[in-house]
Structure 1
Amino acid sequence: MTGLSVSRTVPIPVKRRFFDQCILPAFLYAAETWSLTKTNQSRLEIAQRRMERAMLGITLRDKKPNEWIRRKTGLKDVVSNAQDRKRKFANKLNNHKGDRWTTRLTKWTPNKKRPLGRPPKRWKDDLTR
């Protein structure tokens, strides 16, 4: 975290704006192409909570609930933000007319069967819920 985010003299609205404009885009770079597994989601949530605690100047020892921290900072959930970005990207790909490589790539399926057992999560799996 930068000095601006952890400074005690900077008000929370300024920190929130800095987070939304600078940290969040870097944090979710290329999130449209991720297949969000539960492990990745929990890592994003943990990282965001850690940043929020640093913004407020509290530690885990203070034992403040996550809902309280979220109310104080007023930040958006990173996981839902990543899912929204992915949905918008999928809509954009779906609305393209013609023979673009992105459309061809998302509609392409390999000529072999998936292996036995639990299959790995695909990009499309997040969109079908």
Structure 2
Amino acid sequence: MRWRSASGVMCDKRISLKLKGKFYRVAIRPTMLYGSECWPMTKAQASQVEVAEMRMLRWSCGKTLSDRIPTGVFRAELEVGTIINKLREGRLRWFGHVRRRDRTAPLRRAESIHVEGIRRRGRPKMRWEDRLAKDLIELGRFGIYAETLLNLSTLYMVVIICVLMSAFSYTFRAFDATFLLCSRVFSVDGV
């Protein structure tokens, strides 16, 4: 569904905001997020999706960016949550489906494929597993799944992030969670 074809409903001033919000949740958002379970989305891409969503929400409310109305007001009027949370929810749901498959299934066998060769120069591209690990870390779920997803480079990044978080928040909860995760990954005894 194209946004322009739905604009007759979304931009009609005679239709209530509640009904517009429901139409957005039922028809437009699923179209935007089709297949997003498998996207290894970076922060820049997530920002672009969020900007596109807010433009549509503003447009359906009859406002513009120059009106300087906070985004929370539009979300409350239309009763719509953030699209970033929906993206994360879809990725984690798909991850659960993948994990429940038998290990001999082609999908699970494709996970363990290791490509030989030299990687490109520069920063490695975001992988689906890396995105899932970040989602689990953002949610504070340091479980079995996070351990299996984290490779060594991601683990170093997690340690640095959690140490910085503990330094800025003046608590050591983040550091303790990192130490617990590292001890499970590297099988450190005594924890």
Taking structure 1 as the reference length, what is the TM-score of the superposition?
0.91
Residue type at the aligned position of 1:42: S
What SS class does the counterpart of residue 128 from structure 1 fall into? helix
- What are the ranges of 5 or more consecutive residues in structure 1 without an aligned counterpart? none
Q: 1:66 Cα shift?
A: 1.5
> Which of these residues, 26, 30, 48, is aligned with residue 25 of structure 1?
30
Greater share of helix residues, 1 or 2?
2
Residue type at the aligned position of 1:45: E
Residue type at the aligned position of 2:31: A
1:8 matched residue in structure 2: 13
Q: 1:85 Cα shift?
A: 0.5
Residue type at the aligned position of 2:110: L
Matched, 1:126 2:131: yes
2:143 matched residue in structure 1: none
Pairwise CA RMSD of aligned residues? 1.4
Residue type at the aligned position of 2:95: A
Percentage identity across aligned positions?
Answer: 25
Of structures 1 and 2, the one scoring higher in RCO (CA 8 A, sep 6+) is 1
2:104 matched residue in structure 1: 99
What SS class does the counterpart of residue 133 from structure 2 fall into? coil
2 CA distance for matches of 1:25 and 1:117? Answer: 35
Taking structure 2 as the reference length, what is the TM-score of the superposition?
0.63
Runs of 4 or more above 6 Å deviation: none
Task: Please give the per-residue CA displacement for 1:9-42, whole angstroms capped at 9, x wherever unaligned.
Answer: 1111211111111111110010011011112101
1:80 matched residue in structure 2: 85
2:71 matched residue in structure 1: 66
1:54 matched residue in structure 2: 59
Task: Please give the per-residue CA displacement for 1:45-71, whole angstroms capped at 9, x wherever unaligned.
Answer: 001000100111101121111122222
2 CA distance for matches of 1:9 and 1:34? Answer: 37
What SS class does the counterpart of residue 18 from structure 1 fall into? helix
Task: Please give the per-residue CA displacement for 1:77-125, whole angstroms capped at 9, x wherever unaligned.
Answer: 1121011101110111011114222212223221234334311111111
